[in-house]
Amino acid sequence: MFRKTFTNYIETLQDTICTELEKLDGKARFREDLWKRDGGGGGRTRVIENGALFEKGGVNVSAVHGELPELIKNHFKTDHGTFWAGGISLVIHPESPMVPTVHANFRYFELFGNSGNSAPVDAWFGGGADLTPYYLREDDAIHFHKTLKTTCDRHGSDLYPRFKKQCDDYFFNTHRGEARGIGGLFFDYLKQNEQKSLQQWFDFTTDAGSAFLPAYLPIVEKRMQESWSAEQREWQEIRRGRYVEFNLIHDRGTLFGLKTNGRIESILMSLPPKVRWDYNVQPLPGSPEAELTEVLKNPREWVS
């Protein structure tokens, strides 16, 4: 139904995001890797590394189709069928601990019965964006959430509080009792219902995707010139370890890709290049590190 228009949208969004991030970095360029999926479809992976600003980052698009993987068959309690899935997924890891890591993805899925040539028996949108700072700056958190809320409000006043809570609940390291970051939006299975048509969910999802750069770039521009110490970098690498824990233990997309013979290089693109797991790290009371930890254990409402 929305395959072509959504694919065109995510490919254009990938181009725009990569161009703007390269401008900010000023040194590194995205390397492009085109790939095909056994069974149908493929994607366009773009990775930036060892830049003046971005230590590692990836902005990927894919559009794949074929027989339903066993995991999806089990989830939907069916023994047959085909699918089409398209999306954009990105993770950016700056070198500076003063600049937050960011993640976003926006996707569309169609599920078919015995024949992929017929109309889909189900279709939905999903996605979101979330921010992972290493040092808490309230004005950055407010800007990020306010930008996303403004976008949501154009499509319904109930969407931001609903999807913000889903983000807080989802991006949570339950084994640590803390959030991965300061949240944002997370939504899934947005399908036609009595409240909204699939066209309206398409409009919302693409609007949310287009809000990514206005939400993130001003924060980067504000923090990229700030100085930082070896100790602050060490804290960043410890927190990056928690990021890795979430992605490998809890993240549905990562686990799905690993269990369905997905493209490993694209799946693990989200992991930072340098991390550490020091034993029983406890930030000093009253320190900036302790301030961040408190917020991660008790997620806040950043905008009303």
DSSP string spanning 157-190? TTHHHHHHHHHHHHSEETTTTEESSSEEEEEEEE
Percent of the chain with pLDDT over 90: 81
Look up 155 and say whether it is catalytic: no
Give the span between the Cα atoms of 165 and 87, in whole angstroms.
23
The residues spanned by each domain of the chain are 3-297
What's the token pair of residue 14? 């990938």
Q: Name the pTM for this structure.
A: 0.94
Q: Encode pLDDT of 178-236 as tens digits.
A: 999 999 999 999 999 988 999 999 999 999 999 999 999 999 999 999 999 999 999 99
pLDDT of residue 273 exceeding 60, the answer is yes
Which residue among the candidates 103, 155, 175, 250 is catalytic per the annotation?
Answer: 103
Q: Which CATH class is domain 3-297?
A: alpha beta
Q: What is the pLDDT of residue 167?
A: 98
pLDDT of residue 157 exceeding 80, the answer is yes
For the chain, the farthest-separated pair of C-alpha atoms sits apart, in whole angstroms, at 61
